Structure 1
């Protein structure tokens, strides 16, 4: 059954990683409802690897844009963009290095994730309901100060597991004047160093246990995550061009309530996930 679990995990990761609905919350539900028998450390390492597949999907989708980094010395707009991405990553790096282990040990439990989903859904609804006219319509015009603020707001996902990195960065961008497609695209860009760095660090720490799953199953999960995430990125960009995020807000609240019900009925264990 390991191959089956690998495929399901890859599908869930690929769909949820870049949508504002929290991949953490959905992977919790997936593992518990399927009764995945892998040890905790094996699950953690596997999720890191398939997250890498989703990150590679961003690079594949925007490969032409990422190649423009070669011109940052001569193209001022590219220089501002990538400086902004670099600056936006710094708060998450500092927070992760200083408090990452503490947060995992104390906050990585289903009830915390459930409330993060619910509160995040309410926040999304409020932001969309009080939306003002955006002033920034391209990622090259975001600027370093705005990028830094988006990076700071992105840390809400680190401080409160289940809030969603995508939701934090996209909503942060919208509050700061970015239109919905631009905020979404910048969130994708920001996810590459943020998620990539975290995935690499966790992989280095625990790479020795991957053999317990089987190399082929690891590659299968990562490949499925890559393919599904690639199409999810394209779908989300088309969706935000003519729709708001209120549907995601309602969905988050429903999933959060479902998790709380599963905890209350004993179906879902509320023990630490770290």
Structure 2
């Protein structure tokens, strides 16, 4: 994995993390198309690079995240992230096993695209227009929906936004709550991948994520550059997505997923 690979994967992560098209799928496809070897460092990088995207949300919505008088906001996020923390730990090995199955991920990409074609018609009369109107119960339910994204190719953003719309949230409110929920969710995933999970146990060179980074100045530098690029591109994606979502809804993203998913199915089937 060289600097060019790092930059491309970081741009892909930043642009797709908050769109309903699955950043995991796109990074996996990009790595395959670039002929990258599936090393333990690459796996760890693809997970922990989300830290840059986390910072993008915090910066874009800094007034919300640093309004310490709004204790209810933090409580809702803490409760909403619980399902993902529990199920993520339970199914960690199974999730990692699917990450290398590009046919399965491409199929999920297409299936999710079909769902997005109809989402706007299913939820035409939203009742909740702002995050402040989201109850504790609704927040937890959205958190449960987010767990659907544990199947690579689903999209955490799509699952949590649709979950929000099932609870009566408008498209904008559901998208923004999805952004907010991404912070504790991805922070937990990043901390787990760097300091808790042991990578490479099957290879006999078991290391924590941070141990891999500290073993080489080059790897550490690529990790830092990757997170910086992901941060910059994620801010652009966040602002653009809200505008596009309000104007066009989900149909565009559904068509995109179907087209890309089918193209990749054909490519990986004959590769």
TM-score normalised to the size of structure 2? 0.90
- 2:179 corresponds, among 184, 188, 197, to 188
Supply the RMSD in Å over aligned alpha carbons. Answer: 1.6
Q: Alpha-carbon deviations, 1:40-86, whole Å to 9, x = none?
A: 20101222332111111111111111111x21xxxxxx333322211
Q: CA deviation at 1:241?
A: 2.6
Paired residues in the alignment total 257
Matching of residue 103 in structure 1 with residue 82 in structure 2: no
Tell me if structure 2 keeps the 8 A contact 1:45–1:207.
Answer: no
**What is the aligned partner in structure 2 of residue 35 from structure 1?**
35
Name structure 1 gaps, 5 residues minimum: 72-77, 267-274
**What is the aligned partner in structure 1 of residue 211 from structure 2?**
208
Q: CA deviation at 1:215?
A: 2.3
Cα distance in structure 2, aligned partners of 1:225 and 1:255 = 22
| SS at 1:19 equivalent | coil
C-alpha spacing 1:139/1:246, structure 2 compared with 1 (3 Å): same
Cα distance in structure 1, aligned partners of 2:245 and 2:19 = 11
Matching of residue 174 in structure 1 with residue 165 in structure 2: yes
| SS at 1:134 equivalent | coil
**What is the aligned partner in structure 1 of residue 13 from structure 2?**
13
C-alpha spacing 1:6/1:107, structure 2 compared with 1 (3 Å): closer
Cα distance in structure 2, aligned partners of 1:107 and 1:222 = 21
Matching of residue 4 in structure 1 with residue 4 in structure 2: yes
Tell me if structure 2 keeps the 8 A contact 1:58–1:188.
Answer: yes
Cα distance in structure 1, aligned partners of 2:51 and 2:122 = 35
Q: CA deviation at 1:28?
A: 1.2
| SS at 1:197 equivalent | helix
**What is the aligned partner in structure 2 of residue 272 from structure 1?**
none
Cα distance in structure 2, aligned partners of 1:106 and 1:232 = 27
**What is the aligned partner in structure 2 of residue 161 from structure 1?**
152
Q: Alpha-carbon deviations, 1:107-153, whole Å to 9, x = none?
A: 65112211111111111112222222100000010111111111111
**What is the aligned partner in structure 1 of residue 202 from structure 2?**
none
Matching of residue 197 in structure 1 with residue 188 in structure 2: yes
Name structure 2 gaps, 5 residues minimum: 196-207
Q: CA deviation at 1:260?
A: 1.0
**What is the aligned partner in structure 2 of residue 24 from structure 1?**
24
Matching of residue 256 in structure 1 with residue 255 in structure 2: no
| SS at 2:110 equivalent | helix
Q: CA deviation at 1:237?
A: 1.8
- 1:246 corresponds, among 245, 251, 254, to 251
**What is the aligned partner in structure 1 of residue 79 from structure 2?**
87
**What is the aligned partner in structure 2 of residue 55 from structure 1?**
54
| SS at 1:10 equivalent | helix
**What is the aligned partner in structure 2 of residue 46 from structure 1?**
45
Tell me if structure 1 keeps the 8 A contact 2:145–2:159.
Answer: yes
C-alpha spacing 1:10/1:107, structure 2 compared with 1 (3 Å): closer
